[in-house]
Structure 1
Amino acid sequence: MNNFVKTTVLGGLIFLTPIVLVVAIVGKGFSLVHGLAKPALQVLSVETVLGAATIHIVSVVLLVLLCFLAGLYSRTAGAGRLGNWLEKRLLEKIPTYPLLKAKLRSALQPEQLETLQPIMVRFDDSWQFALLVEQVKPDASLVFLPGAPDAWSGSVCIVSGDRVEPLDVSVQRIIQLMKRLGEGAAPDLSQLRFGAHEA
Protein backbone atom coordinates (compact mmCIF):
# COMPACT_ATOMS: atom_id res chain seq x y z
CA MET A 1 0.00 0.00 0.00
CA ASN A 2 2.81 2.42 0.93
CA ASN A 3 4.56 1.70 -2.36
CA PHE A 4 1.32 2.27 -4.27
CA VAL A 5 0.77 5.63 -2.58
CA LYS A 6 4.39 6.65 -3.19
CA THR A 7 4.41 5.75 -6.89
CA THR A 8 0.98 7.34 -7.41
CA VAL A 9 2.05 10.60 -5.79
CA LEU A 10 5.29 10.68 -7.79
CA GLY A 11 3.38 9.93 -10.99
CA GLY A 12 0.98 12.78 -10.25
CA LEU A 13 3.91 15.11 -9.56
CA ILE A 14 5.58 14.23 -12.86
CA PHE A 15 2.28 14.72 -14.67
CA LEU A 16 1.47 18.08 -13.06
CA THR A 17 4.94 19.66 -13.18
CA PRO A 18 4.96 20.56 -16.91
CA ILE A 19 1.36 21.78 -16.68
CA VAL A 20 2.19 24.04 -13.74
CA LEU A 21 5.28 25.24 -15.60
CA VAL A 22 3.23 26.26 -18.64
CA VAL A 23 0.60 27.97 -16.48
CA ALA A 24 3.32 29.87 -14.58
CA ILE A 25 5.00 31.04 -17.80
CA VAL A 26 1.72 32.16 -19.37
CA GLY A 27 0.66 33.85 -16.13
CA LYS A 28 3.98 35.69 -15.85
CA GLY A 29 3.75 36.78 -19.48
CA PHE A 30 0.20 38.02 -18.97
CA SER A 31 1.21 40.00 -15.88
CA LEU A 32 4.10 41.61 -17.77
CA VAL A 33 1.95 42.58 -20.75
CA HIS A 34 -0.84 43.75 -18.43
CA GLY A 35 1.61 46.00 -16.61
CA LEU A 36 2.73 47.57 -19.91
CA ALA A 37 -0.74 47.94 -21.39
CA LYS A 38 -2.41 49.58 -18.39
CA PRO A 39 -0.32 52.81 -18.27
CA ALA A 40 -0.39 53.01 -22.08
CA LEU A 41 -4.19 53.00 -22.11
CA GLN A 42 -4.28 55.57 -19.30
CA VAL A 43 -1.94 57.89 -21.21
CA LEU A 44 -4.07 57.54 -24.34
CA SER A 45 -7.22 58.03 -22.25
CA VAL A 46 -8.81 54.96 -23.85
CA GLU A 47 -12.25 54.26 -22.42
CA THR A 48 -14.87 51.92 -23.82
CA VAL A 49 -18.23 50.49 -22.84
CA LEU A 50 -16.34 47.45 -21.53
CA GLY A 51 -14.82 49.54 -18.78
CA ALA A 52 -12.23 47.74 -16.65
CA ALA A 53 -12.39 44.66 -18.89
CA THR A 54 -10.65 46.62 -21.65
CA ILE A 55 -7.21 46.27 -20.06
CA HIS A 56 -7.60 42.49 -19.82
CA ILE A 57 -8.75 42.14 -23.42
CA VAL A 58 -5.89 44.29 -24.70
CA SER A 59 -3.42 42.31 -22.59
CA VAL A 60 -4.63 38.97 -24.03
CA VAL A 61 -4.45 40.34 -27.59
CA LEU A 62 -0.93 41.66 -27.02
CA LEU A 63 0.20 38.37 -25.48
CA VAL A 64 -1.14 36.38 -28.45
CA LEU A 65 0.51 38.86 -30.84
CA LEU A 66 3.80 38.54 -28.96
CA CYS A 67 3.64 34.74 -29.19
CA PHE A 68 2.89 34.99 -32.92
CA LEU A 69 5.86 37.31 -33.54
CA ALA A 70 8.08 35.02 -31.46
CA GLY A 71 6.87 32.10 -33.56
CA LEU A 72 7.81 33.93 -36.75
CA TYR A 73 11.24 34.74 -35.35
CA SER A 74 11.75 31.13 -34.28
CA ARG A 75 11.69 30.11 -37.95
CA THR A 76 14.84 32.13 -38.71
CA ALA A 77 18.36 30.69 -38.70
CA GLY A 78 19.47 33.02 -35.91
CA ALA A 79 16.64 31.92 -33.67
CA GLY A 80 17.48 28.29 -34.37
CA ARG A 81 21.07 28.78 -33.20
CA LEU A 82 19.90 30.72 -30.15
CA GLY A 83 17.31 28.05 -29.31
CA ASN A 84 19.88 25.25 -29.59
CA TRP A 85 22.27 27.16 -27.35
CA LEU A 86 19.59 27.78 -24.71
CA GLU A 87 18.49 24.13 -24.81
CA LYS A 88 21.99 22.78 -24.29
CA ARG A 89 23.11 25.33 -21.69
CA LEU A 90 19.93 25.83 -19.69
CA LEU A 91 16.65 24.12 -20.62
CA GLU A 92 17.96 20.55 -20.85
CA LYS A 93 19.08 20.87 -17.21
CA ILE A 94 15.42 21.22 -16.18
CA PRO A 95 14.15 17.63 -15.57
CA THR A 96 10.65 18.23 -16.99
CA TYR A 97 11.72 20.16 -20.09
CA PRO A 98 12.26 17.20 -22.47
CA LEU A 99 8.87 15.78 -21.45
CA LEU A 100 7.12 19.12 -21.96
CA LYS A 101 8.84 19.62 -25.31
CA ALA A 102 7.77 16.18 -26.53
CA LYS A 103 4.18 16.79 -25.46
CA LEU A 104 3.98 20.15 -27.17
CA ARG A 105 5.54 18.78 -30.34
CA SER A 106 3.09 15.89 -30.48
CA ALA A 107 0.17 18.27 -29.99
CA LEU A 108 1.24 21.11 -32.28
CA GLN A 109 3.34 19.29 -34.90
CA PRO A 110 1.96 15.74 -35.17
CA GLU A 111 3.43 15.37 -38.67
CA GLN A 112 6.95 15.32 -37.16
CA LEU A 113 6.05 12.17 -35.25
CA GLU A 114 5.52 10.27 -38.49
CA THR A 115 9.27 9.76 -38.73
CA LEU A 116 8.83 7.32 -35.85
CA GLN A 117 7.66 3.81 -36.74
CA PRO A 118 5.32 1.97 -34.35
CA ILE A 119 6.62 -1.48 -33.51
CA MET A 120 6.38 -4.26 -30.94
CA VAL A 121 9.53 -5.23 -29.07
CA ARG A 122 10.03 -8.68 -27.52
CA PHE A 123 11.63 -8.90 -24.06
CA ASP A 124 12.11 -12.53 -23.00
CA ASP A 125 8.55 -13.77 -22.53
CA SER A 126 6.76 -10.42 -22.98
CA TRP A 127 6.11 -7.83 -25.71
CA GLN A 128 5.98 -4.05 -25.45
CA PHE A 129 4.66 -1.23 -27.61
CA ALA A 130 7.52 0.90 -28.93
CA LEU A 131 8.54 3.47 -31.53
CA LEU A 132 11.47 2.81 -33.83
CA VAL A 133 13.68 5.92 -33.79
CA GLU A 134 16.49 4.78 -36.09
CA GLN A 135 18.70 1.90 -37.16
CA VAL A 136 22.03 2.30 -35.41
CA LYS A 137 23.41 -0.84 -37.09
CA PRO A 138 21.99 -3.34 -39.60
CA ASP A 139 21.10 -5.67 -36.73
CA ALA A 140 20.40 -3.10 -33.99
CA SER A 141 17.56 -0.62 -33.55
CA LEU A 142 17.25 2.44 -31.33
CA VAL A 143 13.72 2.41 -29.92
CA PHE A 144 11.60 4.52 -27.58
CA LEU A 145 9.49 2.57 -25.08
CA PRO A 146 6.44 4.71 -24.21
CA GLY A 147 5.10 4.78 -20.67
CA ALA A 148 1.50 4.52 -19.51
CA PRO A 149 -0.66 6.48 -19.03
CA ASP A 150 1.82 9.18 -20.11
CA ALA A 151 3.40 7.94 -23.33
CA TRP A 152 6.25 10.48 -23.15
CA SER A 153 7.44 9.30 -19.73
CA GLY A 154 9.09 6.24 -21.27
CA SER A 155 12.69 5.27 -21.92
CA VAL A 156 15.12 4.66 -24.79
CA CYS A 157 17.04 1.47 -25.48
CA ILE A 158 18.81 -0.45 -28.25
CA VAL A 159 17.48 -3.86 -29.22
CA SER A 160 18.54 -6.46 -31.75
CA GLY A 161 16.61 -6.62 -34.99
CA ASP A 162 15.14 -10.06 -34.30
CA ARG A 163 13.22 -8.63 -31.34
CA VAL A 164 11.33 -6.07 -33.47
CA GLU A 165 7.99 -6.60 -35.18
CA PRO A 166 6.42 -3.81 -37.32
CA LEU A 167 3.02 -2.59 -36.19
CA ASP A 168 0.56 -1.19 -38.75
CA VAL A 169 -0.80 1.70 -36.67
CA SER A 170 -0.06 5.43 -36.34
CA VAL A 171 2.06 7.06 -33.66
CA GLN A 172 -1.02 8.86 -32.38
CA ARG A 173 -2.71 5.47 -31.96
CA ILE A 174 0.17 4.30 -29.76
CA ILE A 175 -0.15 7.45 -27.63
CA GLN A 176 -3.90 6.87 -27.34
CA LEU A 177 -3.42 3.26 -26.27
CA MET A 178 -0.91 4.27 -23.62
CA LYS A 179 -3.37 6.78 -22.17
CA ARG A 180 -5.92 3.96 -21.91
CA LEU A 181 -3.36 1.51 -20.45
CA GLY A 182 -3.57 -0.55 -23.64
CA GLU A 183 -7.33 -1.06 -23.51
CA GLY A 184 -8.76 -1.69 -26.98
CA ALA A 185 -5.44 -2.81 -28.52
CA ALA A 186 -6.67 -6.28 -29.58
CA PRO A 187 -7.64 -5.29 -33.18
CA ASP A 188 -4.22 -3.67 -33.71
CA LEU A 189 -2.44 -6.83 -32.60
CA SER A 190 -4.49 -9.36 -34.56
CA GLN A 191 -1.83 -9.84 -37.26
CA LEU A 192 1.03 -10.48 -34.86
CA ARG A 193 2.15 -14.02 -34.04
CA PHE A 194 3.11 -13.90 -30.39
CA GLY A 195 5.47 -16.67 -29.43
CA ALA A 196 6.80 -17.10 -32.97
CA HIS A 197 10.35 -16.37 -31.77
CA GLU A 198 10.23 -18.46 -28.68
CA ALA A 199 12.44 -21.53 -28.49
Structure 2
Amino acid sequence: MKNAVVFIGRCVLAGLLVVLPIYLALLLLLKGMASAGQLVRPFTRLLPESLPAQEILSVLLVLVVCFVLGLAVRTRLGRAARGRLETSVFGRIPGYELLRNLTLQVAGEKNDGIWKPALVEIEEALVPGFIIEAFEDGRYTVFVPSVPTPFAGAVYVLDGPRVHPIDVPFTQAVKVITKWGSGARELVLAMESARGRDGAPAAAPGER
Protein backbone atom coordinates (compact mmCIF):
# COMPACT_ATOMS: atom_id res chain seq x y z
CA MET A 1 0.00 0.00 0.00
CA LYS A 2 2.79 2.40 0.95
CA ASN A 3 4.66 1.67 -2.30
CA ALA A 4 1.49 2.35 -4.30
CA VAL A 5 1.01 5.71 -2.57
CA VAL A 6 4.65 6.67 -3.22
CA PHE A 7 4.32 5.63 -6.87
CA ILE A 8 1.13 7.66 -7.33
CA GLY A 9 2.71 10.66 -5.62
CA ARG A 10 5.75 10.55 -7.87
CA CYS A 11 3.56 10.27 -10.98
CA VAL A 12 1.48 13.26 -9.88
CA LEU A 13 4.64 15.29 -9.18
CA ALA A 14 6.13 14.34 -12.55
CA GLY A 15 2.92 15.39 -14.27
CA LEU A 16 2.93 18.72 -12.45
CA LEU A 17 6.51 19.39 -13.54
CA VAL A 18 5.40 18.95 -17.15
CA VAL A 19 2.09 20.83 -16.94
CA LEU A 20 3.11 23.74 -14.68
CA PRO A 21 5.57 25.47 -17.08
CA ILE A 22 3.07 25.14 -19.94
CA TYR A 23 0.26 26.50 -17.77
CA LEU A 24 2.35 29.46 -16.58
CA ALA A 25 3.43 30.28 -20.13
CA LEU A 26 -0.18 30.23 -21.36
CA LEU A 27 -1.30 32.28 -18.36
CA LEU A 28 1.32 34.95 -19.07
CA LEU A 29 0.41 34.96 -22.76
CA LEU A 30 -3.30 35.43 -22.02
CA LYS A 31 -2.52 38.16 -19.48
CA GLY A 32 -0.30 39.92 -22.01
CA MET A 33 -2.99 39.63 -24.69
CA ALA A 34 -5.57 41.14 -22.35
CA SER A 35 -3.31 44.10 -21.64
CA ALA A 36 -2.37 44.51 -25.29
CA GLY A 37 -6.02 44.36 -26.37
CA GLN A 38 -6.61 47.86 -25.07
CA LEU A 39 -3.70 49.18 -27.12
CA VAL A 40 -4.59 47.52 -30.43
CA ARG A 41 -8.32 48.18 -30.32
CA PRO A 42 -8.08 51.34 -32.51
CA PHE A 43 -6.31 49.29 -35.21
CA THR A 44 -8.89 46.50 -35.36
CA ARG A 45 -10.89 48.49 -37.90
CA LEU A 46 -8.13 47.91 -40.45
CA LEU A 47 -8.89 44.19 -40.59
CA PRO A 48 -12.04 42.50 -41.95
CA GLU A 49 -14.86 42.08 -39.45
CA SER A 50 -14.86 38.33 -40.11
CA LEU A 51 -11.47 38.02 -38.39
CA PRO A 52 -10.87 38.12 -34.62
CA ALA A 53 -8.83 41.29 -35.18
CA GLN A 54 -8.23 42.19 -31.54
CA GLU A 55 -6.94 38.72 -30.64
CA ILE A 56 -4.66 38.55 -33.69
CA LEU A 57 -3.16 41.99 -33.11
CA SER A 58 -2.77 41.30 -29.37
CA VAL A 59 -0.78 38.12 -30.04
CA LEU A 60 1.39 39.91 -32.61
CA LEU A 61 2.05 42.78 -30.20
CA VAL A 62 3.06 40.39 -27.39
CA LEU A 63 5.38 38.50 -29.77
CA VAL A 64 6.94 41.76 -31.01
CA VAL A 65 7.55 42.90 -27.42
CA CYS A 66 9.18 39.56 -26.60
CA PHE A 67 11.34 39.83 -29.71
CA VAL A 68 12.46 43.36 -28.88
CA LEU A 69 13.27 42.37 -25.30
CA GLY A 70 15.19 39.36 -26.58
CA LEU A 71 17.28 41.63 -28.78
CA ALA A 72 17.81 44.11 -25.96
CA VAL A 73 19.16 41.57 -23.47
CA ARG A 74 21.77 40.48 -26.03
CA THR A 75 23.44 43.90 -25.86
CA ARG A 76 26.07 44.74 -23.25
CA LEU A 77 23.76 47.18 -21.47
CA GLY A 78 20.88 44.71 -21.62
CA ARG A 79 22.98 41.89 -20.15
CA ALA A 80 24.09 44.15 -17.32
CA ALA A 81 20.51 45.20 -16.57
CA ARG A 82 19.30 41.60 -16.69
CA GLY A 83 22.07 40.55 -14.34
CA ARG A 84 21.06 43.19 -11.78
CA LEU A 85 17.39 42.22 -12.03
CA GLU A 86 18.17 38.52 -11.63
CA THR A 87 20.33 39.18 -8.59
CA SER A 88 18.06 41.63 -6.79
CA VAL A 89 14.57 40.47 -7.82
CA PHE A 90 14.15 37.28 -9.84
CA GLY A 91 16.79 35.32 -7.94
CA ARG A 92 14.62 35.55 -4.82
CA ILE A 93 11.72 33.76 -6.53
CA PRO A 94 11.72 30.01 -5.68
CA GLY A 95 12.42 27.90 -8.75
CA TYR A 96 13.48 30.82 -10.95
CA GLU A 97 17.12 29.77 -11.18
CA LEU A 98 16.11 26.26 -12.22
CA LEU A 99 13.73 27.49 -14.92
CA ARG A 100 16.32 30.01 -16.12
CA ASN A 101 19.00 27.36 -16.50
CA LEU A 102 16.63 25.03 -18.32
CA THR A 103 15.51 27.83 -20.65
CA LEU A 104 19.10 28.71 -21.52
CA GLN A 105 19.88 25.08 -22.27
CA VAL A 106 16.80 24.61 -24.45
CA ALA A 107 17.73 27.81 -26.30
CA GLY A 108 21.17 26.36 -26.96
CA GLU A 109 23.08 28.93 -24.91
CA LYS A 110 26.09 28.02 -22.81
CA ASN A 111 25.49 28.23 -19.09
CA ASP A 112 28.75 27.43 -17.29
CA GLY A 113 28.19 23.69 -17.58
CA ILE A 114 24.94 23.73 -15.60
CA TRP A 115 22.55 20.98 -16.77
CA LYS A 116 25.25 19.67 -19.08
CA PRO A 117 24.34 16.22 -20.47
CA ALA A 118 26.45 13.35 -19.18
CA LEU A 119 26.56 9.59 -18.85
CA VAL A 120 27.10 8.58 -15.24
CA GLU A 121 28.11 5.25 -13.75
CA ILE A 122 25.44 3.90 -11.40
CA GLU A 123 26.42 0.45 -10.14
CA GLU A 124 27.48 -1.40 -13.34
CA ALA A 125 25.50 0.69 -15.84
CA LEU A 126 25.82 3.94 -17.74
CA VAL A 127 22.83 6.20 -17.04
CA PRO A 128 21.87 9.46 -18.83
CA GLY A 129 21.98 12.42 -16.48
CA PHE A 130 22.79 16.11 -16.16
CA ILE A 131 25.64 17.82 -14.33
CA ILE A 132 24.22 20.34 -11.86
CA GLU A 133 27.46 21.56 -10.30
CA ALA A 134 31.14 20.70 -10.10
CA PHE A 135 33.12 20.48 -6.85
CA GLU A 136 36.62 21.89 -6.51
CA ASP A 137 37.88 18.40 -5.63
CA GLY A 138 36.61 16.94 -8.92
CA ARG A 139 33.30 15.51 -7.73
CA TYR A 140 29.97 16.36 -9.35
CA THR A 141 26.39 16.85 -8.31
CA VAL A 142 24.40 14.94 -10.92
CA PHE A 143 20.68 14.78 -11.58
CA VAL A 144 19.49 11.44 -13.00
CA PRO A 145 15.96 11.70 -14.46
CA SER A 146 13.27 9.07 -14.21
CA VAL A 147 12.12 7.75 -17.58
CA PRO A 148 10.13 9.12 -19.34
CA THR A 149 9.93 12.34 -17.29
CA PRO A 150 13.14 14.36 -17.70
CA PHE A 151 12.54 16.72 -14.76
CA ALA A 152 11.80 14.23 -12.00
CA GLY A 153 14.41 11.85 -10.64
CA ALA A 154 17.24 11.53 -8.15
CA VAL A 155 20.31 13.58 -7.22
CA TYR A 156 23.73 12.00 -6.72
CA VAL A 157 27.13 13.30 -5.64
CA LEU A 158 29.66 11.23 -7.60
CA ASP A 159 33.42 11.07 -8.01
CA GLY A 160 34.74 12.62 -11.21
CA PRO A 161 35.77 9.33 -12.92
CA ARG A 162 32.17 8.11 -12.70
CA VAL A 163 30.78 11.14 -14.56
CA HIS A 164 31.32 11.44 -18.31
CA PRO A 165 30.24 14.79 -19.80
CA ILE A 166 29.08 14.44 -23.41
CA ASP A 167 29.07 17.10 -26.10
CA VAL A 168 25.47 16.81 -27.29
CA PRO A 169 22.62 19.35 -27.21
CA PHE A 170 20.53 19.46 -24.06
CA THR A 171 17.40 18.81 -26.12
CA GLN A 172 18.91 15.62 -27.55
CA ALA A 173 19.56 14.21 -24.08
CA VAL A 174 16.02 15.10 -22.98
CA LYS A 175 14.60 13.40 -26.08
CA VAL A 176 16.42 10.16 -25.21
CA ILE A 177 14.81 10.18 -21.77
CA THR A 178 11.31 10.95 -23.04
CA LYS A 179 11.59 8.18 -25.66
CA TRP A 180 12.42 5.48 -23.10
CA GLY A 181 16.12 5.38 -24.08
CA SER A 182 15.73 5.45 -27.84
CA GLY A 183 18.76 7.30 -29.18
CA ALA A 184 21.04 6.45 -26.25
CA ARG A 185 23.49 4.94 -28.74
CA GLU A 186 24.37 8.46 -29.94
CA LEU A 187 25.11 9.51 -26.35
CA VAL A 188 27.46 6.57 -25.88
CA LEU A 189 29.18 7.31 -29.19
CA ALA A 190 29.65 10.94 -28.12
CA MET A 191 31.24 9.79 -24.86
CA GLU A 192 33.56 7.36 -26.66
CA SER A 193 34.47 10.02 -29.21
CA ALA A 194 35.43 12.41 -26.41
CA ARG A 195 37.58 9.69 -24.81
CA GLY A 196 39.30 9.13 -28.15
CA ARG A 197 40.09 12.83 -28.55
CA ASP A 198 41.57 12.88 -25.06
CA GLY A 199 43.71 9.87 -25.89
CA ALA A 200 42.04 7.68 -23.24
CA PRO A 201 40.61 4.24 -24.01
CA ALA A 202 36.86 3.74 -23.62
CA ALA A 203 36.48 1.95 -20.31
CA ALA A 204 33.53 -0.17 -19.38
CA PRO A 205 31.29 0.97 -16.53
CA GLY A 206 32.85 0.26 -13.16
CA GLU A 207 36.42 0.25 -14.49
CA ARG A 208 38.90 2.69 -13.06
5 Å-filtered alignment, 1:70-81, equals: 70-81=69-80
Aligned equivalent of 2:145: 147
5 Å-filtered alignment, 1:186-197, equals: 188-189=187-188, 193-197=204-208
Distance 1:63 1:35, change over 3 A: same
Aligned equivalent of 2:197: none
Offset of residue 115 of structure 1: 5.7
5 Å-filtered alignment, 1:47-196, equals: 47-51=46-50, 53-107=52-106, 109-110=107-108, 112=110, 118-131=117-130, 136-137=135-136, 140-148=138-146, 149-153=148-152, 158-165=157-164, 167=166, 170-185=169-184, 188-189=187-188, 193-196=204-207
Offset of residue 53 of structure 1: 2.2
Write out per-residue CA displacement over residues 19-46 of structure 1, whole angstroms, 9 at most, x where no aligned residue. Answer: 11111111111110012221x348xxx3
Offset of residue 126 of structure 1: 4.8
Choose which of 4, 12, 34 in structure 1 pairs with 2:15. 12
Distance 1:98 1:195, change over 3 A: same
5 Å-filtered alignment, 1:14-53, equals: 14-38=17-41, 40-41=42-43, 46-51=45-50, 53=52
Q: How does the TM-score come out when normalised to structure 1?
A: 0.72
Q: How does the TM-score come out when normalised to structure 2?
A: 0.70
Percent of paired sites with the same residue: 24
SS at match of 1:15: helix
Figure out how many residues of one structure are paired with residues of the other and give that number: 191
Q: Which amino acid aligns with 1:2?
A: V
Write out per-residue CA displacement over residues 102-153 of structure 1, whole angstroms, 9 at most, x where no aligned residue. Answer: 343233x22537967643322455543234577644x514354242334355
**CA RMSD after TM alignment:** 3.4
The answer on whether the counterparts of 1:34 and 1:56 sit within 8 Å (CA) in structure 2 is yes
Long gaps (5+) in structure 2: 190-201
Offset of residue 83 of structure 1: 2.0
Distance 1:154 1:140, change over 3 A: farther
Q: Which amino acid aligns with 2:159?
A: S
The answer on whether the counterparts of 1:141 and 1:160 sit within 8 Å (CA) in structure 2 is yes
Offset of residue 77 of structure 1: 3.1
Long gaps (5+) in structure 1: none
Question: After the TM superposition, which of the residue ranges 172-181 and 91-100 deviates more from structure 2?
Answer: 91-100
The answer on whether the counterparts of 2:149 and 2:178 sit within 8 Å (CA) in structure 1 is yes
Write out per-residue CA displacement over residues 2-24 of structure 1, whole angstroms, 9 at most, x where no aligned residue. Answer: 22211111221222111111111
Write out per-residue CA displacement over residues 56-110 of structure 1, whole angstroms, 9 at most, x where no aligned residue. Answer: 2222222222222222222233332332233233333433433433343233x22
